Structure 1
Amino acid sequence: MTGVEWGNLVIGIVGVVAAVAGVFYAHHEYRERRSAAGHGGGGGGRRPPEPPDPSARRRSYDVIVSYAAGDADAAELLAGRLRAVDLEVFLARWVAPGLVPLLEADQALMEAGWGVLLYGSGTTADERARHEYAALLHRKFEGGLRFVPARTSDDPLPPLAAIHQALDLTRPGTEHYDREVARLVRIVSAPRRPAGA
């Protein structure tokens, strides 16, 4: 063997020894952490806190609140008011860490009985809001959802939304806003009439 080959062999052997030592010490450290956390034999330390349960919802969604990015605060205000009266509300902003927002939105679109679209000056330019609007209308015309447009600005509603009785949520913090939210709560909480009744 030449000197270069011997040098490469020594470097290779040192590398293997270092890798084995690294695995050994990492495993040793892992066992100590498990033992200290009370998972293994001995140590008896505190257990790490459990992660939040993403399936903590009590039941199916009652309402999905759809909105453009510019109406996120208005949507959260409305969703908070609905949640305060014990309605199960889907809001994209509230999707828990670790979940997939689009899948959660899809689930909400399938199971909610009510769909509220906040319509403001940026709604038509927001791609996600446009897609949710189309999905809400699709479910409405299939007969599985009641669609409620809710204006957050003085912009006119698009034709398919304008044929529905709309809410006026342009003045949050006023008695008018409170009345409109109370009206929504009343109709969402009322028993649904069977089809053809």
Structure 2
Amino acid sequence: MTGVDEVNLVIAIAGLIATVAGTYFAFHEYRQRRTGAGPVPGSGDDGGGGRVSEPLEPPEPPEGQGPYDVFVSYTAGDADAATLLAGQLCAAELDVFLVRWVEPGLIPLLESERALSEARWGVLMFGSGTMSDLRVRDEYAALLHRKYQGDLRFVPGRTTDDPLPPLAAIHQPVDLTRPGTPHYDREVARLVRVIRRPPGTAGA
């Protein structure tokens, strides 16, 4: 066998090995998809080169149901963002109304109405679909009405970079677009600080 023949034989064997390996891994991936097997636990890989994000652990709802310091309004699309904020506010010893925390046996709509009438602060989570949600639009109108009566402080909470409606844009919003970052923590701390400020204090 000449040197050229030996080189050709090595190339052929290498090509055969690569083909077999590729077939094996392709079959293995196909079988994982068919069986529903996911990434190896603890690998931190979502199978597509990205990182698997850990689901948010919702905080425990508060023990009592009112009276409330803060009413948090949100659409279904912003439910996780609202729950995260409400948990931070509760950790700061504030009483927060969140409709998903209404206890069994109570009527969410009636509890929302009661909370809207007694809360000192209203935070409305503004995302992409906020103004197309009829319930949230009603809550928005009620919060603004109480704000202009002088017995509630209204705060827009941005969850996206979408522009705010004109009547919300004239208020100083809190930026909640980057949960899990120092910026988010500073914004929440700023909100907590002004909520806990005694009524009638300068700047309140």
- Helix, strand or coil: the match of 1:117? strand
C-alpha contact 1:68 1:126 (8 A) present in aligned 2 = yes
**Mapped partners of 2:201, 2:191: distance in 1:** 19
* Equivalent residue, structure 2, for 1:127: 134
* Equivalent residue, structure 2, for 1:143: 150
Q: 1:174–1:109: structure 2 CA closer, same or farther, 3 Å change rule?
A: same
Out of 88, 91, 95, the position equivalent to 2:98 is: 91
Q: TM-score, normalised by structure 2?
A: 0.67
- Helix, strand or coil: the match of 2:147? helix
* Equivalent residue, structure 1, for 2:124: 117
**Mapped partners of 1:103, 1:194: distance in 2:** 32
Aligned-pair distance for 1:177?
0.2
Report the count of equivalent residues.
142
Q: 1:126–1:193: structure 2 CA closer, same or farther, 3 Å change rule?
A: same
AA of the residue aligned to 1:147: F
C-alpha contact 2:66 2:115 (8 A) present in aligned 1 = no
- Helix, strand or coil: the match of 1:64? strand
- Helix, strand or coil: the match of 2:156? strand
Q: 1:59–1:122: structure 2 CA closer, same or farther, 3 Å change rule?
A: closer
Aligned-pair distance for 1:58?
7.4
- Helix, strand or coil: the match of 1:181? helix
**Mapped partners of 1:151, 1:58: distance in 2:** 26
Aligned-pair distance for 1:126?
1.0
**Mapped partners of 1:66, 1:102: distance in 2:** 12
What aligned pairs does 1:183-194 form with structure 2 within 5 A after superposition?
183-193=190-200
Q: 1:57–1:129: structure 2 CA closer, same or farther, 3 Å change rule?
A: same
Describe the superposition over 1:28-82 as per-residue Cα deviations: whole angstroms up to 9, x where unpaired. Answer: xxxxxxxxxxxxxxxxxxxxxxxxxxxx527520000001110000000000000
Describe the superposition over 1:92-140 as per-residue Cα deviations: whole angstroms up to 9, x where unpaired. Answer: 1101111000110111111100000000001011111111111100110
Unaligned runs of 5+ in 2: 1-62
Aligned-pair distance for 1:167?
0.5
What aligned pairs does 1:30-179 form with structure 2 within 5 A after superposition?
57=64, 60-179=67-186
Aligned-pair distance for 1:90?
0.1
**Mapped partners of 1:194, 1:144: distance in 2:** 15
AA of the residue aligned to 1:68: T
**Mapped partners of 1:62, 1:128: distance in 2:** 21
**Mapped partners of 1:170, 1:62: distance in 2:** 23
- Helix, strand or coil: the match of 2:87? helix
Q: 1:73–1:142: structure 2 CA closer, same or farther, 3 Å change rule?
A: same
Unaligned runs of 5+ in 1: 1-55
- Helix, strand or coil: the match of 2:172? coil
Describe the superposition over 1:135-181 as per-residue Cα deviations: whole angstroms up to 9, x where unpaired. Answer: 10011011110000010000000000000001000000000000000
C-alpha RMSD of the superposition = 1.9
